[in-house]
Structure 1
Amino acid sequence: MGTPPNSEEFYKKLRAQLYDTALWPSEYLYKFIVISNRDKIQQIEDLFDNLGAVIETKESKNGKYTSVSINVSMKDPDAVIDKYKEVAEKVEGVISL
């Protein structure tokens, strides 16, 4: 499920789901897909620097794409959504799952 940048309806629904399913602050797992390019992967990792995030990457079978999974403690659903928006804004071609 890709997310179009600034899809306010998507974020509104996500915010409600996050409030309903977790007690905050809480661990949150972000998943992103990018073209297998070290600079793009590093851009994503840098946006989560100093947050205590656990980051795992995995290349697709043909090596064209890389999934980046980031497990990090977030203070509330708004912080989760702000980070999604920041990644979408700063990393060209990223797909948020």
Structure 2
Amino acid sequence: MDKKVEEFYERLKVELDNSNTWPAEYLFKFIVPTIDDNVARVENAFNCLGAVIKTTKSKTGKFTSISVDVTMKNAQEIIDKYQEVGTIEGIVSL
């Protein structure tokens, strides 16, 4: 993993631990190109976690925003999800 990316996740973990009592509700937000199975891949990453997932297509339909509201066990679980969906081409995590 890239050094900057590694440092980002380390800082995120500290911030999450400082601002949450685990388990905690967490809102993931992503934007993906509306192609292939991008939306399904994000939804599948949160399958079986009891997540509330909302999707909204952009006016042109080229992009889809995805909000995932889910209870996570700890900061590392959140980071693992970001890394899992980070493999989707063109995804932007907000």
Fold conserved between structures, TM > 0.5: yes
Alpha-carbon distance in structure 2 between the residues aligned to 1:86 and 1:36? 18
The alignment yields a C-alpha RMSD, in angstroms, of 1.6
Partner of 1:9: 7
1:24 equivalent in alignment to 2:22: yes
Partner of 1:75: 73
Alpha-carbon distance in structure 1 between the residues aligned to 2:79 and 2:86? 11
| 1:45 pairs with one of 18, 43, 46 | 43
The answer for unaligned runs of 5 or more in structure 2 is none
Percent same amino acid at aligned positions? 48
The answer for unaligned runs of 5 or more in structure 1 is none
Moved over 2 A (4+): none
Query: 1:38: how far off?
Result: 5.7
TM-score normalised according to structure 1 size: 0.87
Aligned length: 92
Amino acid at match of 1:26: A
TM-score normalised according to structure 2 size: 0.90
